[in-house]
Amino acid sequence: MGELEELNLVDSFSEFKDFKNIDRETMMSILEDVFRGLLTRKYGTDENCDVIINIDKGDLEVWRNREIVADEDLEDPSLEISYSDAIKIEPDFEIGEEVSEEVKLADFGRRAIMSLRQNLIARIIDLENDGIYSKYKDRVGTIVTGEVYQIWKRETLIIDDDGNELVLPKSEQIPSDYFKKGDTIRAIVLKVEMVNNNPAIVLSRTSPVFLEKLFEVEVPEVYDGLISIKKIIREPGERAKVAVESYDDRIDPVGACVGMKGSRIHGIVRELGNENIDVINFTANTSLFISRSLSPAKITSIKIHEEENRADVFLHPDQVSLAIGKGGYNIKLAGKLTGYEIDVYRDVNDVDSEDVGIEEFADEIEGWILDELKGIGCDTAKSVLELSVADLVKRTDLEEETVQEVQNILKAEFE
C-alpha cells in the first residue's frame, strides 16, 4: 500500500509543477503547510519534524526528531523516545542524544493520504485561480494575444502564453472573423468574473476600446498622449468613425493616425477584417463636426435644430448616396458620433428643374413610405428612380413589391 500512496503523491507533484501563476516559494510553503497539518493530527505536534520537499523531482521526506530519555523519565512520546526503544533503532545510542526517524507516508494510512492529496489540490487550484483572476482583473481594457484552442458555435476558447483559458463569445467577434485551431488572435479583455470559484475571462474584438488600443499600438503619438481619441463609434466589420484631437499644434492628428500612404491605419483595417475607418478632426463647432463626420461626402449647407438635436444637411445630388453610405452605415455612425439626428436633402439649387419632390405624390403613396424614402436621402422622384429596386429594399424597410409599385407611380410622371 505504501508504494501505491507514494506514487499517488508523486503524481500530484508533477501536476503542481505545471501551475504557472504560483511561484516556487508559495508552492513549497503550501505543500509544507498541508503536510505539517497531517503530522500534527497524527503526533499532536509538528515542531520536532523536518519536512524536505523537492518539487522538481516530485519527492518528499519527513523526519521526526525525538530526544532519548531513560525509560522511567518518558513523559511526552511525541517529543521523547525511551532508551529501550532507541537502541532497537541503533544499539550505540545514548541518553540525551537525538533520534531522527524518517516518517513514511504509508504510516499515515490510506484515508489520511487521500484527504491530504485532495486538500493539496484544492489549496493550489484556489491560489492558481486567484492568481489568474488578479492578473486579468488588472488587464481589463488591454490587448491580449492568444492561440485558438477550440471553436464552438457560441464561443471560441483561446489559450494565452501561460496556458490560461480565455473566452471570445460569438457576440464579441467581428462578423467576418473566421478562426481555425492554432490561429493567433488579438482581442481586448472585456471583463473578468468569478463563476463557481473559477475565473472567467471574456475577450472582445467588437468593442470600441479594441479599436482605441489598436491605435495606441500603431500610432506612437496616441500612445504618448499627444493625440487624444475623443470618441469612437463602430459597426464592427463594416465601418468606424474615430474623432481625434491633438494637444500640439504642430501635429496633424488625422495625418498621424493614417500615416504615410495609409501605412498606420492599414494594419488596423486588416486586423478588423477590412472595416472602413474614418479618422476625423474633432471640433467643438457643431456644424463643422457634423460636416466632417459625414466624410467622404461633401456638404453644401447645414441647418441645425438645437432644441430637437437634429440637423438638416444639404448636398449635391451625387453626394447624397456617399453621405448615406453602403447599408446606411455612414449616416448612422455620423449621427452617433455627433449626437445629432441627421436628415439628408439634395441641395434645392441643384435639383433638376424637371424633377418633382416626392411629397407631390402624397395622394398616391402612403406617408410612411415617403418618410422611409426621405430617410435615405431620396426626396425627389428622380432620386428614387436612380436607385435599383434591390438597393431600395436593402436600405429601407420596404418590401420589393412596394418599391416596384412606388417606382411605377413615379415613372408615370415623366412619361
> Tens digits of per-residue pLDDT, 80-121?
888 888 888 888 888 888 888 888 777 777 787 787 778 877
pLDDT tens-digit readout, 290-316: 999 998 888 988 999 988 899 999 988
- Beta carbons of 112 and 42 less than 8 angstroms apart: yes
Confidence band of 207 (pLDDT split at 50, 70, 90) = very high
Whether residue 93 is found in the same domain as residue 197: no
Rg of the chain over Cα atoms, rounded to whole angstroms, equals 37
Domain-located, residue 378 = yes
* Any domain includes 182: yes
So what's the pLDDT on residue 13?
Answer: 54
Band of pLDDT at residue 6, cut at 50, 70 and 90: very low
Residue 105 lies in a domain: yes
Among 75, 28, 66, 68, CA closest to 47:
66
Number of domains in the chain: 3
Residue 86, Cβ neighbours under 10 Å: how many? 23
Look at residue 175 and tell me whether its pLDDT is greater than 60. yes
Q: Which residue has the higher pLDDT, 38 or 336?
A: 336
126 and 151 inside one domain: no
**Predicted local distance difference test score (pLDDT) of residue 12:** 54
The reply to whether the predicted model has a pTM over 0.75 is: no
In this structure, the answer to whether residues 154 and 123 fall within a common structural domain is no
Residue 350: predicted pLDDT? 56
Contact 20, 163 (CB under 8 A): yes
Same domain for 169 and 89: no
**Domain presence at residue 218:** no
Whether 255 is in a domain gets the answer no
**124-134 pLDDT tens trace:** 788 778 888 88
- Is pLDDT above 50 for 326? yes
Residue 81 and residue 164 share a domain: no
Are 125 and 18 members of one domain?
yes
Mean pLDDT of 322-345: 91
pLDDT at site 178:
92
* Mean pLDDT of all residues in 226-239: 95
**Pick from 207, 188, 205: nearest CA to 140:** 188
Domain final residue, candidates 82, 101, 134: 134
pLDDT at site 321: 81
Please tell me the predicted confidence (pLDDT) of residue 3.
44
pLDDT of amino acid 412: 84
Determine the pLDDT at residue 32. 81
104, 187: one domain? no
CB atoms within 10 A of CB 275: 19
Q: Are residues 127 and 167 in the same domain?
A: no
For residue 246, give the C-alpha cell.
491633438
Task: Give SS3 for 202.
Answer: strand
Q: Is residue 301 part of a domain?
A: no
Predicted confidence band at 46 (pLDDT cuts at 50, 70, 90)? confident
Same domain, 168 and 121: no
Confirm whether 392 is domain-assigned. yes
CATH code assigned at 41: 3.30.1480
- Which of 134, 159, 190 terminates a domain? The answer is 134
Q: Domain check: are 108 and 81 in the same one?
A: yes
Average pLDDT over residues 215-243: 95
72 with 152, same domain?
no
User: Domain containing 163 — which CATH number?
Assistant: 2.40.50.140
Domain end among 76, 109, 134: 134
pLDDT of residue 163: 87
Which strand ranges, in their side-by-side order, compose the sheet holding 299-305?
Answer: 299-305, 310-315, 341-346
Look at residue 285 and tell me if it is in a domain: no
Q: What pLDDT sits at residue 57?
A: 63
Domain region containing 176: 145-206
- Kindly provide the b/e burial profile for residues 295-321, where b requires at least 16 CB atoms within 10 angstroms of the residue's own CB: bebebbebeeeeeeeebebbbebebbb
pLDDT band at 214 (very low <50, low <70, confident <90, very high): very high
Residues with Cβ within 8 Å of 59's Cβ and at least 6 positions away in sequence, in order, are 10, 13, 53
Higher pLDDT, 95 or 347: 95
Same-domain pairing of 161 and 123: no
Region 261-281: mean pLDDT is 93
